[in-house]
């Protein structure tokens, strides 16, 4: 378990260092994710059900929502500035998020049907 | 019985309120309660655990007049785990890699269409309402994960702290809207639904996707990563038009 957690942190650390060293616009953890992904392609056994890495990752991802709570509480500080700019910002947020969801999913489905890649068979 | 010594209670509060332990515990407790409420409502999209936990914390921090900085000294331990959790997204990505590879073309098309829609519609609508330029710059990267969004905002003359707020608000909105919207559009493909959630609503959308379906979660994780890259390139180009 500790080795698995260390591996996750090490990937992040290398990612953070790489992002700073090469001035990349990508955050360290995202580079870390890519590194770990490459590692798993080479050693798939580490990702198998019951492996320590799979268990640690499972716990973290099962409660991904919890990890956003502190940042979420942070919006309280700026709630005033959201309202201060009138309805424009709020309307833009709501409409744009709905549009983005719809366009992304519809384009995905249409193109998938065109190239005839089979959709997932889960109900 | 000894009457409660108010001075001692106050001393205790002064100690506790400044100690990270209290606010770490309160953060976890707020989440546990939010999770229970969310489960009680059958994971209804409106009963979003992040939204409920934040609302509870707002009440508690407001009632105790606790400054955010004090709160965050405790909550930072939870916040810190966002990094390793992001790295851990490599596992679902690896597990569903054959599905992902097969969907390379739909992924690419949806990525470009979605990234463009996110930036143009947000900036366009806000501009139509007369929102001033520095605020538009803070709004443009709202759909991508906070670290990338704040970097983009800084580069184009926005306010990174306002961007962080808009990013979190977008995430919560997206996580709430995705399920009813997809039902309305009669979209049942978990790949498409997850990809849309991750693209429009970054990590909070991804958390929602994992809550609903593992394939949706994997596609949400990819969308979140890719949209960060594409938006970083798109935003400076698009903002020149406004």
* Gap between the Cα atoms of A95 and B14, Å rounded: 44
**Average pLDDT for A86-93:** 90
| Same domain assignment for residues B101 and B213 | yes
| Same domain assignment for residues B109 and B194 | yes
B56 in A contact zone (CB under 8 Å): no
Tokens 């959201």 correspond to A82
- Given a cut of 80, is residue B242 above it in pLDDT? no
| Same domain assignment for residues A41 and A94 | no
* Gap between the Cα atoms of B61 and A115, Å rounded: 52
| Same domain assignment for residues A61 and A85 | no
| Same domain assignment for residues B120 and B178 | yes
pLDDT in tens, B204-222: 999 999 989 999 999 999 9
Which of A9, A17, A68 to mutate to probe the B interface, most B CBs <10 Å?
A68
Joined tokens for residue B138: 């803070």
B58 in A contact zone (CB under 8 Å): yes
- Res A119: pLDDT: 52
| Same domain assignment for residues B14 and B102 | no
The domain of B35 spans 6-80
Query: Closest Cα of chain B to A84: distance in Å?
Result: 11
| Same domain assignment for residues B182 and B70 | no
Q: Which residues in A lie closer than 8 A to residue B173 (C-beta atoms)?
A: 93-94, 97
| Same domain assignment for residues B122 and B232 | yes
| Same domain assignment for residues A36 and A56 | yes
pLDDT in tens, B173-191: 999 999 999 999 999 999 9
Could you tell me if residue A72 is inside a domain? no
Asked if B53's CB is within 8 angstroms of A27's CB, the reply is no
| Same domain assignment for residues A62 and A9 | yes
pLDDT in tens, B56-91: 999 999 999 999 999 999 999 999 999 999 999 999
Of B46, B80, B114, the residue at which a domain comes to its end is B80
| Same domain assignment for residues B38 and B67 | yes
Of B50, B80, B110, the residue at which a domain comes to its end is B80
Could you tell me if residue B95 is inside a domain? yes
| Same domain assignment for residues A10 and A34 | yes
| Same domain assignment for residues B44 and B162 | no
| Same domain assignment for residues B22 and B37 | yes
**Average pLDDT for A66-95:** 87
Residue in B closest to A103 by C-alpha: B114
The domain of A38 spans 1-67
Answer positive or negative: Cα dihedral of B7, B9, B13, B16.
positive
Task: Identify the residue with better confidence: A121 or B147.
Answer: B147
Of A45, A67, A89, the residue at which a domain comes to its end is A67
Asked if A11's CB is within 8 angstroms of B199's CB, the reply is no
The candidate with the shortest Cα–Cα distance to B162, out of B123, B197, B135, B124, is B135
| Same domain assignment for residues A10 and A57 | yes
Tell me what ipTM this predicted complex has.
0.90
Is the separation of the CB atoms in B210 and B220 below 8 Å? yes
| Same domain assignment for residues A37 and A82 | no
Of B80, B103, B118, the residue at which a domain comes to its end is B80
| Same domain assignment for residues B92 and B163 | yes
Is the separation of the CB atoms in A68 and B203 below 8 Å? yes
Residue in A closest to B71 by C-alpha: A70
| Same domain assignment for residues A8 and A61 | yes
Could you tell me if residue A55 is inside a domain? yes
Of A22, A41, A67, the residue at which a domain comes to its end is A67
- Res B3: pLDDT: 61
Could you tell me if residue B1 is inside a domain? no
Could you tell me if residue B64 is inside a domain? yes
| Same domain assignment for residues B100 and B184 | yes
Count of domains for chain A: 2
| Same domain assignment for residues A19 and A56 | yes
B25 in A contact zone (CB under 8 Å): no
Residue A95, classed as helix, strand or coil, is: helix
| Same domain assignment for residues A58 and A86 | no
In chain B, the N- to C-terminal Cα span, in Å, equals: 71
The candidate with the shortest Cα–Cα distance to A14, out of A2, A4, A27, is A27
DSSP secondary-structure letter at B2?
P
| Nearest CB neighbour to B105, from listed A66, A100, A115 | A115
**Average pLDDT for B82-104:** 93
The candidate with the shortest Cα–Cα distance to B226, out of B44, B103, B74, is B103
- Res B193: pLDDT: 98
Selected residues 134-173 of chain B with any CB under 8 Å from a CB in chain A: 135, 139, 142-143, 145-148, 151-152, 161-162, 164-166, 168-173
The candidate with the shortest Cα–Cα distance to B195, out of B115, B125, B133, B90, is B115
Query: Closest Cα of chain A to B150: distance in Å?
Result: 11
Of A48, A67, A86, the residue at which a domain comes to its end is A67
Beta carbon pairs, A and B, within 8 Å: 342
| Nearest CB neighbour to A96, from listed B97, B121, B229 | B121
Count of domains for chain B: 2
| Nearest CB neighbour to A27, from listed B75, B147, B189 | B147
| Same domain assignment for residues B106 and B226 | yes
Could you tell me if residue A112 is inside a domain? yes
Could you tell me if residue B181 is inside a domain? yes
Asked if A97's CB is within 8 angstroms of B170's CB, the reply is yes
- Res A118: pLDDT: 53
Neighbour count for residue B39 (Cβ, 10 Å):
11
**Average pLDDT for A4-26:** 92
| Same domain assignment for residues A39 and A85 | no
């Amino acid at each position: 378990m500790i080795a698995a957690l260390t591996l996750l942190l090490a990937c992040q650390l290398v990612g953070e260092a790489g992002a700073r060293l090469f001035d990349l616009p990508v955050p360290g953890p995202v580079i870390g994710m890519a590194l770990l992904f490459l590692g798993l392609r080479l050693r798939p056994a580490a990702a198998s059900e019951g492996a320590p890495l799979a268990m640690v990752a499972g716990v973290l991802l099962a409660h991904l929502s919890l990890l956003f709570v502190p940042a979420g509480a942070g919006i309280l500080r700026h709630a005033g500035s959201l309202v201060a700019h009138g309805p424009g910002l709020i309307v833009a947020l709501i409409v744009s998020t709905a549009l983005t969801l719809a366009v992304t999913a519809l384009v995905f489905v249409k193109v998938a049907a065109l190239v005839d890649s089979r959709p997932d068979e889960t109900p | 019985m000894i009457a409660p010594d108010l001075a001692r209670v106050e001393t205790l509060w002064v100690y506790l309120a400044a100690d990270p332990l209290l606010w770490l515990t309160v953060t976890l407790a707020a989440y546990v309660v939010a999770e229970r409420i969310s489960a009680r409502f059958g994971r209804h999209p409106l009963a979003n655990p992040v939204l409920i936990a934040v609302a509870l914390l707002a009440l508690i921090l407001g009632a105790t007049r606790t400054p955010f900085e004090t709160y965050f000294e405790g909550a930072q331990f939870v916040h810190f785990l966002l990094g390793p959790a992001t790295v851990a997204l490599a596992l679902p990505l690896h597990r569903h890699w054959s599905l992902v590879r097969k969907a390379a073309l739909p992924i690419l098309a949806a990525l470009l269409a979605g990234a463009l829609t996110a930036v143009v519609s947000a900036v366009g609508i806000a501009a139509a309402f007369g929102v001033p330029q520095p605020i538009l710059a803070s709004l443009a990267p709202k759909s991508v994960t906070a670290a990338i969004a704040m970097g983009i905002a800084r580069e184009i003359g926005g306010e990174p702290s306002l961007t962080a707020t808009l990013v979190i608000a977008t995430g919560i909105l997206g996580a709430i809207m995705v399920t009813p919207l997809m039902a309305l559009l009669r979209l049942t493909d978990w790949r498409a639904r997850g990809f849309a959630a991750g693209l429009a609503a970054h990590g909070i959308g991804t958390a929602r996707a994992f809550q609903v379906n593992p394939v949706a979660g994997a596609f949400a994780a990819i969308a979140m990563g890719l949209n960060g890259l594409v938006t970083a390139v798109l935003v400076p180009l698009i903002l020149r038009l406004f």
